Amino acid sequence: MSDVEHPSATALSGDVEKAARDSSQAATGISSPHVDNSDPDEALKLVAGEAVVLTPEDEKRLLRKIDRNMMPLLCVVYGLNYLDKTTLSYASVMGIRTDLHLVGQDYSWIASVFYFGYLFWEWPTNRLLQRLPLAKYSAFNVIMWGLTLCCLAAVKDFGGAMTVRFFLGAFEAAVSPGFALFTSQWYTKKEQGTRVAWWFSFNGWAQIVGGFVAYGIAVGTEAHPILIKSWQLIFLVTGFFTAFMGGLFLYFMPDSQLNARFLTQRERVMAVERIRINQQGVGNKHFKWYQCKEALTDPMIWAFVLFSAIASIPNGGVSNYFSQLIVSFGFSENQSLLLGAPGGAIQIITLLIAGHCGDRFKNRIFFGAAGVLIAAIGLLLILLLPLSNSGGRLAGYYLYQSSSTGFVALLGLISTNVAGWTKKTTAAAMYLVAYCVGNIIGPQVFQSTDAPQYRNANITILVCMFVAFAILIFINIWCRRQNKIKATVRASPGYAKVDGQEFLDLTDRENPEFIYSL
Q: pLDDT value at position 279?
A: 59
- Mean pLDDT for all residues in the chain: 85
Q: pLDDT value at position 181?
A: 87
Provide the β-strand partners of residue 53. 3
Q: pLDDT value at position 447?
A: 84
pLDDT cut 70: percent of the chain above it: 87
Contact between 29 and 283 (Cβ < 8 Å): no
**345-376 per-position pLDDT tens digit:** 999 999 999 988 998 888 999 999 999 999 99
Q: Are strands 3-5 and 51-53 parallel, antiparallel or unpaired?
A: antiparallel
| Residue 333: alpha-carbon gap to chain centroid | 31
Read off the pLDDT of each residue in 45-52 and give the average, rounded to a whole number: 57
CA atoms of 193 and 500, how far apart (whole Å): 26
**129-185 per-position pLDDT tens digit:** 988 999 999 999 999 999 999 999 999 999 999 999 999 999 999 998 899 889 988
Tell whether the model's pLDDT for residue 52 goes beyond 90: no
Read off the pLDDT of each residue in 245-260 and give the average, rounded to a whole number: 94
Q: Which of 50-54, 106-110, 376-380, 476-480 has the lowest mean pLDDT?
A: 50-54
Q: pLDDT value at position 190?
A: 86
* Cβ density class 314-324: b for 16+ within 10 Å, e for less: bbbbbbbbbbb
Confidence of residue 68 (pLDDT cuts 50, 70, 90): very high
Read off the pLDDT of each residue in 272-283 and give the average, rounded to a whole number: 70
**429-482 per-position pLDDT tens digit:** 899 889 889 988 888 888 878 877 888 888 999 999 999 999 999 999 999 999
Torsion angle (degrees, nearest 10) of CA 440, 479, 196, 279: -120
Task: Enumerate domains of the chain plus CATH numbers.
Answer: 12-47+70-263+292-503 (1.20.1250.20)
Q: pLDDT value at position 307?
A: 96
The span from the first CA to the last CA of the chain, in angstroms, equals 28
Contact between 112 and 316 (Cβ < 8 Å): yes
Helix (H) or strand (E) holding 51: strand 51-53
Contact between 504 and 20 (Cβ < 8 Å): yes
Q: pLDDT value at position 167?
A: 96
- The sign one gets for the Cα dihedral 188, 295, 481, 502 is negative
Tell whether the model's pLDDT for residue 188 goes beyond 60: yes
Q: Which of 19-33, 188-202, 381-395, 410-424 has the lowest mean pLDDT?
A: 19-33
Confidence of residue 424 (pLDDT cuts 50, 70, 90): confident
